[in-house]
Amino acid sequence: TLSNTLGHHKGPIFALKWNKKGNFVLTAGVDKTTIIWDANTGDCKQIFAFHNAPALDVDWQNNTAFASCSTDMSIHVCKLGSERPTKTFSGHTNEVNAIKWDPSGQLLASCSDDMTIKIWNTKQESFLHSLSAHGREIYTIKWSPTGPSTDNPSANPYLASASFDSTVRLWDIERGSCVHTLNKHTEPVYSVAFSPDGKYLASGSFDKCVHIWSTATGQLVNTYKGTGGIFEVCWNSKGDKVGASASDGSVFVLDVRR
């Protein structure tokens, strides 16, 4: 049954994220605002109107602080109860499509139409790394569930990036270098997702293919062809199935053990 309808944005909503505690919902809109909502009552807790163009993505740093990015090329770190951003990151030269905090909540990764990924630390003003290798816009990024602050602390942490240049790249953030270039897709890649143990990466592209890669070797280990362009891929918690949604309205679940 419908619990609440949260109506405050004046236009399309581009991103929605629950906080870890499950008491707040965070949204980003074309109306340039980001909003924290009380998940229990549906009340609007705070509106953050710091961007001067559509807000494209949001990601919680902890249960009350988050980052937002926009077509205005900026990134703001905001906190519930604060009237101004606690941090603003500038450095991208085109719209910022996605942002993701690493598992420790210390590093923020961002990707942009300027074809770069930037890694930020809240303790300093400028980026730690600017990673340039993609030949076209970078649509999304994901951190691996590996390294400190994860269930797989002994495994190396990686960042994956998906680009309109038809490639996926795996990055070693400590070194600031590209470890693997995964180049079997033939159209823009819209989604990447790590398996829960971080050993595999799923990627989905407009070429209708879902590819499963080994993160250790960069080798392609499985391929599935759908009936439409793939916009989203995700793993189940056991790591034996991948869900994918396609442009023709189909949703399919893949058993990756077969």
Q: What is the pLDDT of residues 140-198, one digit of tens each?
A: 999 999 998 999 999 999 999 999 999 999 999 989 999 999 999 999 999 999 999 99
**Alpha-carbon span 34 to 69, nearest angstrom:** 10
- What confidence tens digit (pLDDT) does each residue in 121-131 have? 999 989 999 99
**Alpha-carbon span 75 to 103, nearest angstrom:** 19
Helix (H) / strand (E) containing 110: strand 107-112
Q: How confident is the model at residue 7 (pLDDT cuts 50, 70, 90)?
A: confident
- What confidence tens digit (pLDDT) does each residue in 95-117 have? 999 999 999 999 999 999 999 99
Q: CA nearest 177: which of 162, 165, 159?
A: 159
Q: What are phi and psi of 214, to 5 degrees?
A: -80, 125
**Alpha-carbon span 131 to 35, nearest angstrom:** 30
* Residue appearing with tokens 């362009």: 229
> Contact 62/78 with Cβ under 8 angstroms?
no
Residues in the chain: 258
**Alpha-carbon span 5 to 134, nearest angstrom:** 40
